[in-house]
Homo-oligomer: A and B are copies of this chain.
């Protein structure tokens, strides 16, 4: 492995000069710089990153701004753990990760938490931009301070985020359509449950519905679908009543499609009010959802590897900060099919 000193020797200069050339610092004559660059190219020399980070000995801080999870909403646990796991890999390079969490149903909490985040003076920020309008404010501040940011899970357009990491929601919906069709064959009567929890973040959910419908349209398969808008998921009793009424009104329904992470809520309500076996398809492998798979209450889940999303976001940001390596604009997570037989291996 060739070193800076080897380059220096061959160029007839000192290591310091080579270093200046490498870092494009001035104080080097054009002629010398060219000579050094030629030799660098000749050997395809690259600085030893471990020695470099040792010498730099500088601390970079990455802050994350993700929704907090609780017993009801566990989805955001996985991305958080992904970021924490990634930290173990980047702390060798002097990168630390600090997590900030906000209430995903409260835009004010989003703003407030960002306030404490920015006070911690991070060098890069990973955001789940649940609220669009507020994200505009936030990113304006970040850009003024020249702090790079990337979006995770929610793909907002029109921002200067260095990257987006998440799923193609439309394709996920398409796949859900295929699986539903497979379960019900040519006799599809599906209840689509739109849990529109907040106005800004419903893009992914409506894309999932869009994709679902498109599957049947493209394949020219007839399907009858009922749409239910359900906002309050906490009142289980009212949920049951509502479900009961829908199933009574449309007894042909043999499948339920929940394009959010909350299918387990419906699975439990359903098994409480009816013994009829329906095909249930939902998203995200949360603990509760996985339990439903194992208990045969849910047929399929479509997952987006949220742990990996968190993990990758940190690695990406770290690479960006350390070597200014610009990531791809959009990094799509795999669209993973989970079912009883394979869920234990994920």
Q: Name the distance in Å between A192's Cβ and chain B's nearest Cβ.
A: 18
Q: How many copies does the complex hold?
A: 2
14 contacts between A and B (CB under 8 A): A48-B54, A50-B50, A50-B53, A167-B345, A175-B341, A178-B339, A178-B340, A182-B183, A215-B341, A333-B345, A334-B342, A334-B346, A335-B345, A336-B342
Chain B residue nearest to A182 (CB atoms) is B182
Question: Within residues 157 to 186 of chain A, which ones have a CB less than 8 A from any CB in chain B?
Answer: 167-168, 171, 174-175, 178, 182-183, 185
| Residues of chain B within 8 A of A339, CB atoms compared | 175, 178, 337
Assess whether A311 is interfacial by the CB under 8 Å rule: no
Q: Name the distance in Å between A120's Cβ and chain B's nearest Cβ.
A: 18
Q: C-beta contact mask, A323-346 vs B, less than 8 Å → 1, else 0?
A: 000000000111111011110111
Kindly name the residue among A51, A92, A171 whose own CB sees the greatest number of chain B CB atoms within 10 A.
A92
Which residues of A approach B to under 8 Å, CB–CB? 1, 48-51, 53-54, 91-93, 167-168, 171, 174-175, 178, 182-183, 185, 215, 332-337, 339-342, 344-346
| Residues of chain B within 8 A of A54, CB atoms compared | 48, 50-51, 54
CB pair B346 A342 closer than 8 Å = no
| Residues of chain B within 8 A of A168, CB atoms compared | 345
| Residues of chain B within 8 A of A175, CB atoms compared | 339, 341-342
| Residues of chain B within 8 A of A215, CB atoms compared | 341
CB pair A171 B345 closer than 8 Å = yes
CB pair A341 B335 closer than 8 Å = yes
Q: Once bound together, how far apart are the Cα atoms of A340 and B335, in whole Å?
A: 11
8 Å CB contact of A337 from B49, B167, B185, B337 = B337
Chain B residue nearest to A89 (CB atoms) is B89
Other A-B contacts than A49-B92, A336-B342, A337-B342, 19 sampled, CB-CB below 8 A, are: A1-B91, A48-B92, A50-B54, A168-B345, A171-B342, A171-B344, A171-B345, A175-B339, A175-B341, A178-B339, A178-B341, A185-B185, A215-B341, A332-B345, A333-B345, A334-B346, A335-B341, A335-B345, A337-B337
Chain B residue nearest to A346 (CB atoms) is B334
Q: Once bound together, how far apart are the Cα atoms of A71 and B156, in whole Å?
A: 42
Q: Once bound together, how far apart are the Cα atoms of A53 and B91, in whole Å?
A: 15
Q: Name the distance in Å between A282's Cβ and chain B's nearest Cβ.
A: 16
| Residues of chain B within 8 A of A332, CB atoms compared | 345
From known contacts A50-B50, A54-B51, infer whether A174 and B345 are also in contact, taking CB-CB under 8 Å. no
